[in-house]
A = this chain, B = another copy of it.
Amino acid sequence: MSARTVKLAVIPGDGIGPEVVAEGLKVLAAVAPRHGLALDTTEYELGARRWHATGETLPDSVEEELRQHEAILLGAVGDPTVPSGVLERGLLLRLRFNFSHYVNLRPVRLYPGVTTPLAGVAPEDVDMLVVREGTEGPYAGMGGVLRRGTPGEIATQDSVNTRFGVERVVRYAFAKAAERPRRKLTLVHKDNVLTYAGELWQRVVREVGAEYPQVEVDYLHVDAATMFFVTQPRRFDVVVTDNLFGDIITDLGAAVAGGIGLAASGNINPEADFPSMFEPVHGSAPDIAGQGKADPTATILSAALMLDHLGYAEAAAQVEQAVAEDLQARAKDGGSRSTVQIGDDIAQRVAEQG
Task: List the B side residues contacting A227 at CB < 8 Å.
Answer: 251-252, 254-255, 260
**Contact between B230 and A117 (Cβ–Cβ < 8 Å)?**
yes
- Min distance, Cβ A114 to any Cβ of chain B, angstroms: 13
Q: How far is the CA of A256 from the CA of B93 in the complex (A)?
A: 32
Q: Using a CB-CB cutoff of 8 Å, which residues 235-268 of chain A contact chain B?
A: 244, 247-252, 254-256, 259-260
Q: How far is the CA of A222 from the CA of B252 in the complex (A)?
A: 10
Please tell me if A118 contacts chain B, counting CB pairs below 8 Å: yes
**Contact between B252 and A157 (Cβ–Cβ < 8 Å)?**
no
- Min distance, Cβ A279 to any Cβ of chain B, angstroms: 14
Stretch of A5-13, A195-203, A346-354 that contacts chain B: A195-203
Task: List the B side residues contacting A163 at CB < 8 Å.
Answer: 150-154
The number of times this chain is found in the oligomer is 2
**Contact between B156 and A160 (Cβ–Cβ < 8 Å)?**
yes
Known contacts A223-B248, A251-B224; is A156 also within 8 Å of B85 by CB?
no
- Min distance, Cβ A55 to any Cβ of chain B, angstroms: 18
Chain B's closest residue to A195 (CB) is: B85
Task: List the B side residues contacting A139 at CB < 8 Å.
Answer: 193
Please tell me if A119 contacts chain B, counting CB pairs below 8 Å: yes
**In the complex, per-residue mask of A33-60: 1 if CB is within 8 Å of any chain B CB, else 0:** 0000000000000000000000000000
**Contact between B85 and A198 (Cβ–Cβ < 8 Å)?**
yes
Q: How far is the CA of A192 from the CA of B90 in the complex (A)?
A: 11
Please tell me if A214 contacts chain B, counting CB pairs below 8 Å: no
Chain A, interface residues (CB within 8 Å), range: 35 or more
**Contact between B159 and A158 (Cβ–Cβ < 8 Å)?**
yes
**Contact between B93 and A156 (Cβ–Cβ < 8 Å)?**
no
Q: How far is the CA of A259 from the CA of B231 in the complex (A)?
A: 9
Please tell me if A144 contacts chain B, counting CB pairs below 8 Å: yes
Q: How far is the CA of A321 from the CA of B196 in the complex (A)?
A: 44
Please tell me if A328 contacts chain B, counting CB pairs below 8 Å: no
Q: How far is the CA of A185 from the CA of B143 in the complex (A)?
A: 27
Task: List the B side residues contacting A157 at CB < 8 Å.
Answer: 138, 158-159, 161, 194, 196-197
Q: How far is the CA of A65 from the CA of B260 in the complex (A)?
A: 51
Chain B's closest residue to A245 (CB) is: B248
Please tell me if A155 contacts chain B, counting CB pairs below 8 Å: yes
Q: Using a CB-CB cutoff of 8 Å, which residues 159-218 of chain A contact chain B?
A: 159-164, 190-200, 202
Please tell me if A145 contacts chain B, counting CB pairs below 8 Å: yes
Q: How far is the CA of A231 from the CA of B259 in the complex (A)?
A: 9
Please tell me if A84 contacts chain B, counting CB pairs below 8 Å: yes
Given contacts A157-B194, A224-B251, could you give 16 more A-B pairs where the C-beta distance is less than 8 Å?
A: A84-B191, A84-B202, A85-B191, A89-B193, A119-B119, A143-B158, A143-B197, A151-B164, A153-B163, A158-B158, A190-B244, A223-B248, A223-B250, A227-B252, A229-B252, A230-B255
Please tell me if A127 contacts chain B, counting CB pairs below 8 Å: no
**Contact between B230 and A256 (Cβ–Cβ < 8 Å)?**
yes
Task: List the B side residues contacting A224 at CB < 8 Å.
Answer: 251
Please tell me which one of the listed residues B141, B155, B160 contacts residue A154 in the complex, with CB atoms under 8 A apart: B160
- Min distance, Cβ A232 to any Cβ of chain B, angstroms: 9
User: Which of A116, A117, A190 has most B Cβ within 10 Å?
Assistant: A117
Please tell me if A344 contacts chain B, counting CB pairs below 8 Å: no
Q: How far is the CA of A304 from the CA of B94 in the complex (A)?
A: 49
- Min distance, Cβ A50 to any Cβ of chain B, angstroms: 18
**Contact between A156 and B196 (Cβ–Cβ < 8 Å)?**
yes
